[in-house]
Each structure stands twice: as C-alpha cells, then as structure tokens.
Amino acid sequence: MMHSMDEIATPRRTKEIIHRHGFSFKKSLGQNFLIDQNILNKIVEAAGLDSSKGALEIGPGIGALTEKLAQQAAAVTAVEIDQRLIPILQEVLEPYPQVRIHHGDVLKTDLAALFKRDFADVSKVSVVANLPYYVTTPILMKLLEEKLPLENIVVMIQKEVAERMAASPGTKDYGSLSIAVQYYSVPELVCIVPKTVFIPQPNVESAVIRLTVREQPPVQVDDENFFFQVVHAAFAQRRKTISNNLKTRFFPKEGRERLEVLLGEAGIEPSRRGETLSLQEFATLSNVLLGAGLR
C-alpha cells in the first residue's frame, strides 16, 4: 500500500501534478477533479470490489479514483477522452500493472469488446466513476442498454439527476429517466457531496448513486423499444393527462374512444398523469397498446 501522503486526491498533490504537467482545465469536458479521500473511499466501498473483480472507470482525470480502484480490484480499465491526461495517468499509475488506460470517447467505444479483452479473468465488473456531468445520462443509458455483464454502477453525478434516477411514482422528480434506470437496475443514493471537494468547484451539487444491475427487468415487456416510446409519450407534457399525451402521439386523427377503451383494458384511469404510473403500469399499458396493433 502506498503511503497516504502520496495519494493523488489531496489539494496539494493534485495541484502539484497539474502544475508539473502544465495542465489546464477544459470547461467543455466538464473536468472537476476530486480532492477528498473520504468521498473516494465511500465511492469505492459502495462498489464492493475485491481481488476477484474488475472495475471500469470513465473520465479518470489524473487518476485519484483509479489509484483506489487499483488497490482493491484485479483489473481496472480507465477510459479517458482527453489526450493531454494520458501521459499523466501513465505516470501516476505506473506502480499498478493491473491498470489499463484507454484513450477514447466511451460513447463511441465498443464496450462489449473491451469487456472481453480486459475483464476475461475476473468474476464480476463494476463501473466506478466521477462522471463528466454534461454526458452523464447518455453514458449511463449506454451502459444499461447494452446489457453489459455488470454487477453495479457507482457514479458521482449531479445531485438532481441522481434524485431523478431514484425517484418514486407520484413525486416531482419521477419521469422517463427514473423509469429507464429502474427498468435495468435498482438505484440508491449513497451520499450527497459538497462542491468543496473538487478542483475546480462545479456549479451544482453532486451525489454518489449506486445502480445495482438487474439480471432481468422487473416487469414483462413484449417490446422494449415500444415500451420506452410509450413512456416518453406519457411524459411529453408533464401537465397533461396520460390520455391527452397518448392521444397526441398515437391517435392524432381519431377521437378519444378507442384510446379510453385501451386504457381501461390496462386498468388505468384516463385522467391520471404519467408521473403517477408505476413501472408495472407502464409495462401493462405498452403491452395492451402493442397488442392493439399500435406502433
């Protein structure tokens, strides 16, 4: 174990590395480096890693979290989009032969192939990352939709996005993002994180969320793609009833009668709003609409 004085996530060591390499933060990449050991330990602990498991990190920055992952996991792959950080990462992570640094955009990376190559010898893999906030949702949806062999995803993200992911039906935060995340995983908030633990400080509050990836979805859906279309349609205009939103999307030319019959079949009052429907109700509804020949 390295002496704790040498750990990357301290203000002194972070500034030293940045200055020595002449690194400047790029706003467009949402770069905020963590400088708090305590928060890093919480993130790693939430992932439940051990020497039989692997970790995929996205946006490692200067390697503060990567170093902690390397001390716990058998294999760590860090995907970094910023070419300027690659030599820094190679230098600070040199003591850890089990770490691979992959230069690229995770949204354009063939993750299934990366898993086969880098995680062939581990039992389970977690994604553990301090995600850049401007692409949080596309990254998480890619990880979930590609049905990668993941145990869990533990990420630091914007607090309000974390709250939306973990929201229950009938709350103001509940929406299509809540449903998509909960279809693929079980979300729980690990902790709220103050702005002061980053260099530079972000403009928003942060939170660590853990998504425990489900073996299979909690509901029976006949067509996943159509299910998500129905969900998105239901939230198209939040103030409107489920009946009005679905009519706009699926029955623009007809009267309301057929839609109300189908809602009745699904056991859903037409006057309800999308944000009151549970995952199960959306599944039932999309199966009924699909069965009626809607597309």
CATH number attached to the domain at 224-291:
1.10.8.100
* Domain boundaries of the chain, sorted by first residue: 4-213, 224-291
Of the chain, the percentage scoring pLDDT greater than 90 comes to 76
pLDDT at 275 over 70: yes
| Average pLDDT over every residue of 221-227 | 97
| Average pLDDT over every residue of 242-250 | 94
Give the angle subtended at the CA of 90 by the CAs of 87 and 96, to the nearest 5°.
170
| Average pLDDT over every residue of 279-284 | 98
Confidence of residue 4 (pLDDT cuts 50, 70, 90): very low
Q: What value does the mean pLDDT of the chain take?
A: 92
Confidence of residue 3 (pLDDT cuts 50, 70, 90): very low
pLDDT given for residue 256 in this prediction: 86
Taking only the tens place, the pLDDT of each residue in 131-183 is 888 899 999 999 999 999 999 999 999 999 999 999 999 999 999 999 999 99
For the chain, what is the HEC assignment?
Answer: CCCHHHCCCCHHHHHHHHHHCCCCCCHHHCCCEECCHHHHHHHHHHHCCCCCEEEEEECCCCCHHHHHHHHHCCEEEEEECCHHHHHHHHHHCCCCCCEEEEECCHHHCCHHHHHHHHCCCCCEEEEEEECCHHHHHHHHHHHHHCCCCEEEEEEEEEHHHHHHHCCCCCCCCCCHHHHHHHHHEEEEEEEEECHHHEECCCCCCEEEEEEEECCCCCCCCCCHHHHHHHHHHHCCCCCCEHHHHHHHHHCCCCCCHHHHHHHHHCCCCCCCEHHHCCHHHHHHHHHHHHHCCCC
| Average pLDDT over every residue of 257-265 | 94
In the three-class reduction of DSSP (H, G, I as helix; E, B as strand; rest coil), residue 34 is classed as: strand
Taking only the tens place, the pLDDT of each residue in 9-64 is 777 888 887 778 777 777 666 677 887 889 999 999 999 999 999 999 999 988 99
List 80's β-bridge partners, or say none: 103
pLDDT given for residue 137 in this prediction: 94
Return the CATH number of 4-213, one of 1.10.10.10, 3.10.450.50, 3.40.50.150, 3.40.50.720.
3.40.50.150
The answer to whether the annotation marks 287 as part of a ligand binding site is: no
Predicted model pTM: 0.91
pLDDT given for residue 272 in this prediction: 96
pLDDT at 217 over 90: yes
The answer to whether the annotation marks 203 as part of a ligand binding site is: no
Confidence of residue 2 (pLDDT cuts 50, 70, 90): very low
The answer to whether the annotation marks 32 as part of a ligand binding site is: yes
Confidence of residue 1 (pLDDT cuts 50, 70, 90): very low
pLDDT given for residue 201 in this prediction: 83
Taking only the tens place, the pLDDT of each residue in 76-130 is 999 999 998 999 999 999 999 999 999 999 999 999 999 999 999 999 999 999 9
pLDDT at 199 over 90: no
The answer to whether the annotation marks 130 as part of a ligand binding site is: yes
The answer to whether the annotation marks 38 as part of a ligand binding site is: no
